[in-house]
């Protein structure tokens, strides 16, 4: 045995995060080009631990690392799997291998190509005594190796999963910079073998940075050039061209994946400089049944950055151990619809489905005004579009987009301001079955970029500003400009055509249009505000969007001549769907505080609208600018019969001020969220009647239409663990169901799992036989906390993550905040928790009427008044010039940010304002 081989088989010693007895060596007969030899492999194997403790394995997870890591990468999974088995859960054997030339496995004189490594993996699986079902798991270039084994052993394969990997690189697209540099002729040996540059760069990708002992453990097997030879060999084996020796095997694996029918899971850290969204998209298209979860903020070293193991093991529970025995790539049917890659039961709607665009086309011969756009401010001219012209433009764009190559299921990102252009292109996309992706500028540049990249659109349609951002930030998708652009601008922005050109093309090809999409086809991905974490893409089907239209139309009695003025972006596009004229006032819809009272009055006057729909932030500025209203403005607003404000909690005083501006209108403040845009509704009169109620929180009324609301009670730790119930005055998480509830989240399997609740009954009795109408509904955990009163009205008391977990039990924040805000000196308040969970104390952070110059402890006299007003003991009262709010709504207080800031203040630091 050579000196190199002796060194290669030296025991690694104690490993961080790996308990004794897991690390071992396996002597494996060589295969393929290695036949006739015996190779020594290092593995981490939980088989012995499970056997010693009396656990019977339900199957084996074969985990394959990439380059330049080794089996240490899987220590989180090893620990989590053993912990579950010891807690009485499923016992999965984990066999994590060090590929030959890597980690503590043997170094050889063979240049190992992909096909050889797939054969090597089979050899070690057999030599390690793996029997029964196998689940493969791979990362980086361990992905193709594990998938290669999977596609050759379908008879043993139970499921497969990968983290940040690729199986196909698009022709003509350059390899990632890091791989191009490392693999460049003349640099390969220096970057990968002679020095530790490639190893160091890879380990440095982890965020947060690796602990010193973990970093040292990763480096230990590669302490000299001879032991780093495999790192260079792996880079050299990347099939960068069709002529590369490993290209045929990679192509074989890629093709074979399209016929895989076992459950599949694709996990991704989006901040990966090696494997991009296009690699994930390729895998998702090859395995359309696969579940996908993106860990926002994580990168290439996902296994070191996020609790992926819990997600993976939960997925095995759901998809492998408890899933019905049927092909995983089944298509949807009338009884089931895809839900984040899965199939979930839903309540069948027996009514005839009417597409979102049906009422628009019903009025196609009507020359009356359909849409009024008053511009974005200043002296911009108003634009009026008739029903006839809008229907014609929708059909022309639908035909033009089809000719351009946009088809059913293609995702189209719309970076166009609300108005007639956006309305026409949105309905055109829906008509041809394309999936519209809507994320507004209120997310900020980073948030918008995450949303667009994460949705991997085939096409981006935008105005010049949006297209410039797409170009600068490298967003995927072919480019279409909303306006016609000069040739030089088109070249600079990578624009292929414009909506004007597409409409012209479409007009020449009409009446040819593709078949309408099915009711349960995906229709839209609407991104949340990002006020409670990274913005999530909420998926709606055509049926669910139409159900939303019907709920709004029925509840608010919208008719053809009702008219609608909306300064709230999500509803700025619903006028044509409702069959009523709509108007957008002069404002920047993505900046609600740009709306003035004069602009609302002008929009009402021009559109003769009887309904006005504004966000709370927009409403606040309308009330603040009411003194500028003219007599004509007051007359116009006096014609309004229904007023709505939603998107965030609306204070009763603000509604009163709106009522004074629109004295003949019934003021409503519906409660909803991107996942279910309308859940409940309450009028100002109802709120006035609830003023003397003893309930804490904000009353948001009763469910709309056939919607249902239940409460999952909080336990002592602040977790919503109770069975959903409609019992009165039980505080817990709000759980909802409605025909217009979203289908799921885009590529967030784990988030869907937490949010979706399906149960035979959500009745308080817990007896499905007595549940009646509850049976079979899809449920959504909202993340809001609150309670139902004796009259069935819902009261919101805050967000679940903001519940303060004191030693005396959980405290919801809104009630104490309302009490603090009764102090004359206080303009707004937030009550947050400081300290370890279970022993937190309540702290009030206030914004005073007079305005504080500096953040810090509140003046003693104000603090005393605040403490006296609050029934909840307050450990401290802090003051800030302005409470931080979310970007989109400008009204939701960012309590998480405040809590982190308050921790620092009370620790003696003097940080800037939160």
Domain check: are 98 and 120 in the same one?
yes
Q: Which of 535-539, 570-574, 605-609 has the lowest mean pLDDT?
A: 570-574
pLDDT of residue 489: 96
Q: Which of 110-119, 523-532, 606-615, 859-868 has the lowest mean pLDDT?
A: 523-532
pLDDT of residue 327: 38
Domain check: are 394 and 499 in the same one?
yes
Q: Give percent of the chain with pLDDT exceeding 90.
A: 75
Q: Ramachandran region of residue 287, left (φ > 0), alpha (ψ -120 to 50) or beta?
A: beta
pLDDT of residue 351: 52
Which is more confident, 434 or 332? 434
End-to-end CA distance of the chain: 64
In a domain, 509, yes or no: yes
Confidence class of residue 760 from pLDDT cuts 50, 70 and 90? very low
Decide if pLDDT at 31 tops 50: yes
pLDDT of residue 177: 54
Decide if pLDDT at 184 tops 80: no
CA distance 156 to 135: 9
Decide if pLDDT at 325 tops 70: no
Pairing of strands 744-745, 537-541: antiparallel
Confidence class of residue 275 from pLDDT cuts 50, 70 and 90? very high
Domain check: are 405 and 533 in the same one?
yes
Instruction: Work out the number of other CB atoms within 10 angstroms of the CB of residue 885.
Output: 17
Q: Which of 334-338, 507-511, 577-581, 805-809 has the lowest mean pLDDT?
A: 334-338
In a domain, 637, yes or no: no
Domain check: are 813 and 797 in the same one?
no
What is the CATH classification number for the domain harbouring 165?
3.40.50.1820
Question: In this predicted model, what pLDDT tens digit does every residue of 128-152 receive, in sequence order?
Answer: 999 999 999 999 999 999 999 999 9
What's the chain's length in residues?
914
In a domain, 474, yes or no: yes
Confidence class of residue 533 from pLDDT cuts 50, 70 and 90? confident
Domain check: are 54 and 148 in the same one?
yes
Domain check: are 405 and 264 in the same one?
no
Decide if pLDDT at 516 tops 90: yes
**Among 507, 541, 575, which residue terminates a domain?**
541
What is the CATH classification number for the domain harbouring 813?
3.30.300.30
Decide if pLDDT at 378 tops 80: no
Confidence class of residue 504 from pLDDT cuts 50, 70 and 90? very high
Domain check: are 240 and 181 in the same one?
yes
Domain check: are 386 and 296 in the same one?
no
pLDDT of residue 324: 59
pLDDT of residue 587: 85
> Locate tokens 């906390």: which residue?
785
In a domain, 345, yes or no: no
pLDDT of residue 172: 59
Decide if pLDDT at 530 tops 80: no
Which is more confident, 556 or 771? 556
Domain check: are 775 and 810 in the same one?
no
CA distance 718 to 175: 48
pLDDT of residue 346: 37
**Among 321, 350, 378, which residue terminates a domain?**
321
Nearest residue to 596 (alpha-carbon basis) of 571, 626, 570, 616: 626
CA distance 829 to 858: 12
The enclosing H or E element of 621 equals: helix 616-624
In a domain, 548, yes or no: no
Decide if pLDDT at 820 tops 70: yes
Going by C-beta distance under 8 Å and a sequence separation of 6 or more, which residues neighbour residue 568?
589, 592, 613, 614, 615, 618, 646, 647
What is the CATH classification number for the domain harbouring 518?
3.40.50.12780
Structural domain count, the chain: 4
Nearest residue to 886 (alpha-carbon basis) of 568, 591, 470: 591
Nearest residue to 544 (alpha-carbon basis) of 559, 517, 560, 524: 524
Decide if pLDDT at 340 tops 80: no
In a domain, 594, yes or no: no
- Averaged pLDDT for residues 112-127: 98
Which is more confident, 691 or 890? 691
Write down the mean pLDDT value for the chain. 89
Listing DSSP states for 24-79 in one string gives: EEEEEE--GGGTT-EEEEEEEE-HHHHHHTTPPPSEEEEEE--SS--GGGGHHHHH
pLDDT of residue 445: 85
Q: Which of 381-385, 529-533, 629-633 has the lowest mean pLDDT?
A: 529-533
| DSSP-assigned letter for residue 804 | E
Q: Give percent of the chain with pLDDT exceeding 70.
A: 90
pLDDT of residue 628: 95
Instruction: Work out the number of other CB atoms within 10 angstroms of the CB of residue 353.
Output: 13
> What are 878's strand-pairing partners?
845, 857
pLDDT of residue 175: 60
pLDDT of residue 771: 35
Confidence class of residue 9 from pLDDT cuts 50, 70 and 90? low
Q: Which of 402-411, 439-448, 865-874 has the lowest mean pLDDT?
A: 439-448
- Structure-derived torsion over alpha carbons of residues 555, 557, 562, 567, reported in degrees to the nearest 10: -10
Domain check: are 185 and 280 in the same one?
yes
Question: In this predicted model, what pLDDT tens digit does every residue of 398-436 receive, in sequence order?
Answer: 999 999 999 999 999 999 988 899 999 999 999 999 999
What is the CATH classification number for the domain harbouring 694?
2.30.38.10
pLDDT of residue 850: 86
Decide if pLDDT at 240 tops 90: no
Decide if pLDDT at 790 tops 60: yes
In a domain, 859, yes or no: yes
Domain check: are 113 and 243 in the same one?
yes
pLDDT of residue 616: 86
> What are 613's strand-pairing partners?
566, 644
**Domain around 827:** 803-906
Domain check: are 253 and 378 in the same one?
no
**Among 801, 822, 854, which residue terminates a domain?**
801
In a domain, 576, yes or no: no
Q: Which of 7-11, 105-109, 825-829, 836-840 has the lowest mean pLDDT?
A: 7-11
């Amino acid at each position: 045995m050579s000196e190199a081989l002796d060194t290669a088989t030296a025991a690694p010693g104690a490993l961080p995060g790996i308990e004794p007895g897991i690390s071992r060596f396996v002597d494996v007969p060589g295969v393929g080009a290695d036949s006739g030899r015996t190779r020594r492999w290092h593995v981490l194997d939980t088989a012995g631990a499970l056997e010693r403790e009396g656990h019977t394995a339900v199957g084996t997870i074969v985990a394959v690392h990439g380059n330049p890591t080794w089996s240490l990468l899987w220590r989180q999974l090893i620990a989590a799997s053993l912990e579950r088995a010891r807690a009485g859960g499923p016992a999965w054997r984990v066999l994590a291998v060090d590929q030959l030339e890597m980690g503590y496995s043997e170094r050889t004189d063979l240049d190992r190509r992909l096909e050889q490594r797939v054969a090597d993996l089979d050899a070690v699986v057999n030599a390690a005594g793996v029997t029964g079902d196998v689940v493969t798991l791979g990362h980086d270039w361990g992905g193709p190796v594990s998938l290669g084994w999977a596609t050759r052993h379908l008879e043993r394969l139970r499921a497969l999963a990968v983290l940040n990997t690729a199986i196909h690189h698009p022709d003509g697209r350059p390899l990632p910079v890091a791989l191009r540099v490392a693999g460049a002729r003349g640099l390969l040996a220096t970057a990968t073998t002679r020095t530790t540059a490639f190893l160091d760069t890879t380990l440095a990708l982890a965020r947060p940075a690796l602990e010193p002992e973990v970093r040292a453990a990763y480096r230990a097997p590669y302490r000299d050039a001879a032991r780093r030879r495999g790192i260079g060999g792996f880079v050299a084996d990347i099939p960068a061209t069709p002529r590369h020796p490993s290209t045929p095997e990679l192509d074989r694996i890629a093709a074979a994946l399209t016929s895989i029918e076992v459950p599949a899971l694709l996990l991704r850290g989006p901040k990966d400089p090696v494997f991009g969204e296009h690699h994930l998209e390729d895998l998702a298209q090859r395995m359309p049944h696969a579940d996908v979860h993106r860990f926002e903020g994580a990168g290439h070293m996902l296994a070191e950055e996020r609790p992926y193991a819990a997600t993976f093991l939960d997925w095995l529970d759901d998809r492998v151990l408890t899933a019905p025995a049927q092909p995983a790539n089944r298509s949807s049917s009338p009884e089931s619809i895809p839900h984040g890659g899965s199939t979930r039961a839903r309540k069948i709607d027996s009514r005839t489905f009417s597409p979102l665009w049906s009422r628009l086309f019903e009025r196609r011969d009507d020359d009356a005004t359909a849409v009024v756009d008053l511009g974005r401010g200043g002296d911009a001219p108003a634009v009026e579009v008739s029903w006839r012209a809008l229907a014609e433009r929708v059909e022309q764009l639908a035909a033009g987009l089809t000719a351009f190559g946009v088809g059913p299921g293609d995702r189209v990102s719309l970076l166009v301001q609300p108005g007639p252009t956006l309305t026409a292109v949105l309905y055109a996309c829906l008509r041809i079955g394309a999936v519209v992706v809507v994320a507004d500028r209120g997310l900020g540049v980073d948030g918008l970029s995450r949303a667009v990249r994460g949705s991997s659109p085939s096409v981006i349609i935008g105005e010049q500003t949006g297209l410039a951002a797409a170009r600068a930030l490298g967003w995927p998708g072919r480019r279409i400009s909303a306006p016609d652009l000069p040739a030089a601008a088109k070249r600079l922005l990578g624009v292929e055509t414009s909506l004007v050109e597409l409409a012209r093309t479409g007009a020449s090809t009409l009446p040819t249009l593709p078949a309408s999409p099915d009711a349960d086809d995906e229709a839209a991905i609407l991104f949340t505000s990002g006020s409670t974490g990274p913005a999530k893409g909420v998926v709606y089907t055509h049926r669910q969007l139409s159900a939303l239209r019907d709920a709004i139309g029925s509840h608010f009695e919208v008719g053809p001549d009702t008219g609608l003025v909306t300064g709230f972006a999500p509803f700025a596009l619903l006028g044509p769907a409702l069959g009523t004229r709509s108007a957008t006032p002069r404002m920047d819809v993505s900046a609600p505080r740009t709306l003035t009272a004069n602009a609302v009055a002008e929009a009402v006057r021009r559109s003769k609208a009887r309904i006005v729909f504004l966000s709370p932030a927009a409403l606040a500025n309308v009330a603040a600018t009411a003194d500028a209203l003219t007599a004509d403005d007051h007359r116009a607003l006096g014609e309004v019969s229904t007023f709505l404000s939603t998107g965030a909690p609306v204070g009763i005083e603000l509604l009163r001020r709106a009522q004074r501006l629109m004295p003949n209108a019934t003021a409503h403040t519906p409660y909803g969220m991107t996942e279910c845009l309308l859940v409940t509704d309450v009028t100002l009169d109802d709120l006035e009647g609830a003023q003397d109620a003893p309930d804490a929180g904000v009353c948001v009324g009763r469910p709309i239409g056939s919607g249902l609301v239940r409460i999952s009670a909080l336990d002592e730790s602040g977790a919503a663990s109770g069975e959903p119930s409609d019992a009165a005055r039980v505080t817990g998480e709000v759980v909802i169901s409605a025909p217009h509830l979203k289908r799921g989240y885009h590529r967030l399997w784990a988030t869907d799992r937490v949010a979706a609740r399906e149960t035979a009954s959500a009745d308080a009795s817990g007896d499905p036989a007595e549940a009646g109408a509850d049976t079979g509904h899809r449920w959504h955990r909202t993340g809001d906390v609150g309670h139902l009163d004796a009259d069935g009205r819902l009261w919101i008391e805050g967000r679940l993550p903001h519940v303060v977990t004191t030693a005396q039990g959980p405290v919801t924040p809104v009630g104490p905040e309302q009490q603090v805000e009764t102090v004359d000196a206080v303009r707004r308040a937030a009550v947050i928790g400081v300290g370890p969970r279970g022993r937190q104390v309540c702290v009030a952070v206030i914004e005073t009427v007079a305005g504080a110059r500096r953040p810090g402890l509140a003046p003693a006299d104000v603090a005393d008044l605040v403490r006296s007003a609050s029934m909840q003991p307050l450990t401290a009262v802090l003051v800030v010039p302005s409470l931080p709010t979310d970007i989109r709504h400008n009204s939701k207080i960012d309590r998480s940010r405040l809590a982190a800031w308050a921790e620092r203040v009370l620790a003696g630091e003097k940080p800037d304002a939160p």
